[in-house]
Amino acid sequence: MEPQFENVQTDSESSLCSLWFACASLAADHTWHYHPEFELTWVVRSEGTRFVGDSIEQYRPNDLVLLGPNLPHCWHDGNERRGDDLRSEAVVLQFRPESFGGDFLGLPELAPINKLFRASKCGLHIQGETAERVQVLMKGIFQKTGLVRLMGLLEILQVLAQSPHDLRSLASADYHITNDITQANRQRIERIHRYVRDNLGRDVSQSEIASLVGLTPPAFSRFFRKATGQTFVGFVNILRISEVCRALMETDESITDIAMRCGYNNIANFNRKFLTLKGMNPTQFRDQRNRLTDGQRTSVPGNERGTTPAPRSGRISMAN
């Protein structure tokens, strides 16, 4: 199930696309897709399953998420077969980072917002009082024009950047492994990432990777934990489970074959790792995919927009 590219349209007088729409079904009007814009989506009415990258969660009315560029997503509400009543309602803001200008985002005062943007690469679920404040501000966007409208968006981003306690990461860390590190270390991490991905089907030792990047095993262990916030073993498991999720969503390959291809020779261990990282077993994950696919087969062209057991808690740190 490959995500479809969406061409986001803005008018000539605005760099911000703002939509407030009602439809019979979010799933029918907007299927699995991606676009280069950031997206802030508030589902006012509707409930069902939200898909963001390899995250699958149940959502309810007033669900609010911030999505980074090119992150596949959709909301599947199951309403596509229930007639033409307008059962779903959503408010959506879409914008590119260059909306503010590169030099503007380089100002030291904008550092928290830049960190928010980086965190959004995995998708962020917005909760608590922060969600309530942002929803009020999103309503206000529709009464504004020109520079005042752009400043309204900036105010929303400021509220989010100042409230990491109410933000939870959605997709796995594989969507954004390279954090705030130097360019040289970033290249090291990317080289490690490519190497592990190319060798997912076999055991890759820490000493092997240390040699690859010119470090002793102890030095590599310290470097890697500091750069990524996780152990190398944890990193490999995240990459493997991420590839498993991709295959479960995009192919009909058997779960056992996928697990073996991704380096899990012990199926019981694989099931435990998957449950720990995704909050459900592989069969449940694929069943969610199948429900989404069934909905897309019955959908009609039109407008877009959609957690199983509560997932891992991934609070966001945006401190300096």
Find the CATH number of the domain harbouring 144: 2.60.120.280
Instruction: Go through the chain and tell me how many residues it has.
Output: 320
pLDDT over 70 at 10, yes or no: no
**Adjacency order of strands within the sheet including 73-76:** 4-5, 33-34, 73-76, 48-52, 55-59
How far, in Å, are 43, 91, 256 from residue 61 at the CA level? Answer: 6, 12, 36
Q: What does the block give as tokens for 193? A: 């990432």
Q: What is the mean pLDDT of residues 251-268?
A: 93
Q: To 10 degrees, the CA torsion angle through 188, 194, 196, 198?
A: -150
Q: Are residues 279 and 140 in the same domain?
A: no
Tokens 């087969």 belong to 297
Whether residue 154 lies inside any domain: the answer is yes
Half-sphere exposure of 80 (CA within 13 A, CB side): 27
At residue 23, φ and ψ (nearest 5 deg) are -155, 165
User: What's the pTM value of the predicted model, to 2 decimals?
Assistant: 0.61
| Per-residue pLDDT band at 164 (split at 50, 70, 90) | very high
In a domain, 303, yes or no: no
Bridge partner residues of 57 (DSSP): 50
Residue 108, domain member (yes or no): yes
- Over its C-alpha atoms, the chain yields an Rg (Å, rounded) of 20
Average pLDDT over residues 174-180: 49
* Residue-number span of the structural domain to which 279 is assigned: 176-296
Let me know whether 18 and 129 are in one domain. Answer: yes
Give 140-171 as a DSSP string. HHTT--HHHHHHHHHHHHHHHHT-GGGEEE-S
| pLDDT of 311 | 40
The pLDDT of residue 200 is 87
Residues 24 and 160 in one domain: yes
Same domain flag for 146 and 215? no
> Hey, what are 13's tokens?
């007088």
| Distance separating alpha carbons of residues 261 and 202, to the nearest angstrom | 9
Which tens digits make up the pLDDT trace of 20-74? Answer: 777 766 765 567 788 889 999 999 988 877 888 878 787 889 999 999 988 888 8
Max mean pLDDT among 63-77, 78-92, 102-116 falls in: 63-77
Q: What domain count does the chain have?
A: 2
How would DSSP label each residue in 190-242? HHHHHHHHHTTTS---HHHHHHHTT--HHHHHHHHHHHHSS-HHHHHHHHHHH
Is a pLDDT exceeding 60 seen at residue 180? no
| pLDDT surpasses 60 at 303 | no
DSSP reduced 3-state for 102: helix
Q: What is the mean pLDDT of the chain?
A: 80
- 38 with 54, same domain? yes
Q: Does the residue 314 lie in any domain?
A: no
* Of 242, 231, 178, nearest in space to 206 by CA: 231
Same domain, 215 and 269: yes
> What pLDDT band is residue 258 in, cutting at 50, 70 and 90?
very high
